Each structure stands twice: as structure tokens, then as C-alpha cells.
Amino acid sequence: MRQLRELRGKPHEIALGMAIGVFIGITPTIPLHTILAVSLALLVGGSKLAAALGVWVSNPLSIPFFYYGSYRIGQLVLGLPGINLPDDRSLLAMASLGGKIVGAMLLGGVILGIVPAIVAYVLTLKLASSQWFRDAAGEHRE
């Protein structure tokens, strides 16, 4: 909350950045979360710092749920059968599963991230528009 209160910018820019960060944070793109969120915020005029904060919705406790949920949603939308591990557990055999799993996870992550991103936008917009937030922003400008 302290870091959020220290952000500067218009409420819409801060809320947009946070929504982008939360959205990206839920997708299965973990090594690139911050880079993707900040880049997207830059492209659409959102707060880059809020986007970087928003990706922290993804953490060691939430990642397994996001990744599993992403896969299951993508699997259902794409009509893929469940994962059947090959009897031959060689690297080549396991790699053959990769494309379908990655595709399902990416699609599912996009779908899974929409509602939390909208909620993050609305809540952050209300917070960033509040007197409490504006008072904190005023303190940092003096």
C-alpha cells in the first residue's frame, strides 16, 4: 500500500498500469512478467511503476494455482484431452507434449487474467481517486 500511495500520475494511468500488471502476472510468462507489463503500460499510457507492482500478484503461493487454472481453461477451450504422459519418458517424448500445453496455458492465462485485471482497475481507480491517496501524493511533492 505504501508503494502504491507513492505512485505519481493520474488515477486512470495508475489503475491502468495496475490492471496490466495483474493481467500479465496471471499469465504463464513468469520470466518476462515485469518486462511485458512495463512495455504494455508504456504502449497504452499506463503507469509503468504500477504495472511492475501489479505483477506481484504472482508469487510462489499463487503461481501453481494460476498455472494449473491456465492450463485447465485452455484445455477446455481448445478441446484438448487431458495430459497423458508417454510411456517413454525421454526428453524427446516429453517435448512432444510441449506445444499443446504451452498453447493451452497461454490461452487459458489470457482468459483467467481478464476478470482480475478489471477488478484491479476498478479498485485501484477508486483508491487513486480517493482523498487519502491524493493527500499522500501531495506529501511527496513538497
Q: How many domains does the chain have?
A: 1
pLDDT at residue 142, rounded to an integer? 34
The mean pLDDT value for 121-141 works out to: 77
pLDDT of residue 32: 92
CA distance linking residue 117 with residue 129, whole number of Å: 18
Dump pLDDT digits (tens) for 40-79: 999 999 999 999 999 999 888 998 899 889 989 999 999 9
Range of the domain at 39: 2-141
Query: What's the pLDDT score for residue 140?
Result: 45
Hunting for cell 494449473 — which residue is that?
68
pLDDT tens sequence across 73-128: 999 999 988 776 666 656 566 566 677 888 888 999 999 999 999 999 999 999 98
